[in-house]
Amino acid sequence: MPTENDHKRRAIFFDRDGVINTRIVGGYVRQWSELQLTPEIASVLREVKRRDFLAIIITNQRGVGLGLMSEADLESIHTNLQSLLLRESGAVFDDIFTATDIDDSNGRRKPAPAMLFEAAQKWNIDLRQSWMVGDSTSDIEAGKRAGTKTAFLITDNTEDIPEATAILKDLSELLPLI
Ligand SMILES: [Mg+2]
């Protein structure tokens, strides 16, 4: 007898800054001209989509809450990001979840797992068969709390390496694991 699980999808959840685009240390990507793709994201996204995973961005964007940029600025950056990825990789992210709050009081910002649960509900995702990929301990924490597998990406800014399902020296190391 078919169960709800038969129709569940697998997803790769991507943190944005540091994974999809270069992180601006101590600051925010406030406009499109400041966004630079990381070297491997286009090929990794293409392959993730080819293997029939959902690809979903899960990002804290406190710059909006702090008034450094507007919701419209953020949306415009993401529209441009999707267009660029379509040109570079022939694929786009299926969805983008953002937490713009400045603090953790409403429980959506990572390390809270709230955005992962929202995505799972909306897209009927099996979290246990999914991965959260990020360059911060808060990404890994959010993944663990949501019940996903976790991949920590080491960057030039890495200080502490958390315990995760996998530690990646570059993003393409994810592909043999999924
Ligand atoms: Mg990050």
- Could you state, in order of their start, the residue ranges of all structural domains in the chain? 4-177
Angle 41-50/71-89 helices, nearest 10 degrees? 70
pTM of the predicted model as reported, rounded to 2 decimal places:
0.95
What's the 154 CA to ligand 1 centre distance in angstroms?
10
Q: What is the dihedral of CA 134, 160, 107, 7, to 10 degrees?
A: 30
Which residue in 17, 73, 135, 139 is the catalytic one? Answer: 17
Predicted pLDDT at 26: 87
What's the 151 CA to ligand 1 centre distance in angstroms?
12
Q: Which helix (H) or strand (E) holds 44?
A: helix 41-50
Predicted pLDDT at 66: 94
Active site residue 73: no
Q: Which two tokens stand for residue 80?
A: 């441009």
Judging by beta carbons within 10 Å of its beta carbon (0-12, 13-18, 19+), is residue 123 exposed, middle or buried? middle
Residue type, 117: F
Domain 4-177 fold:
Rossmann fold (3.40.50)
What's the 125 CA to ligand 1 centre distance in angstroms?
22
Active site residue 15: yes
Predicted pLDDT at 4: 60
Can you give the pLDDT of all 178 residues of the chain as single tens digits?
A: 666 666 899 999 999 999 999 999 888 999 999 999 999 999 999 999 999 999 999 999 999 999 999 999 999 999 999 999 999 999 999 999 999 999 888 789 999 999 999 999 999 999 999 999 999 999 999 999 999 999 999 999 999 999 999 999 999 999 999 9
What's the 68 CA to ligand 1 centre distance in angstroms?
18
What's the 90 CA to ligand 1 centre distance in angstroms?
24
Which residue in 15, 73, 135, 139 is the catalytic one? Answer: 15
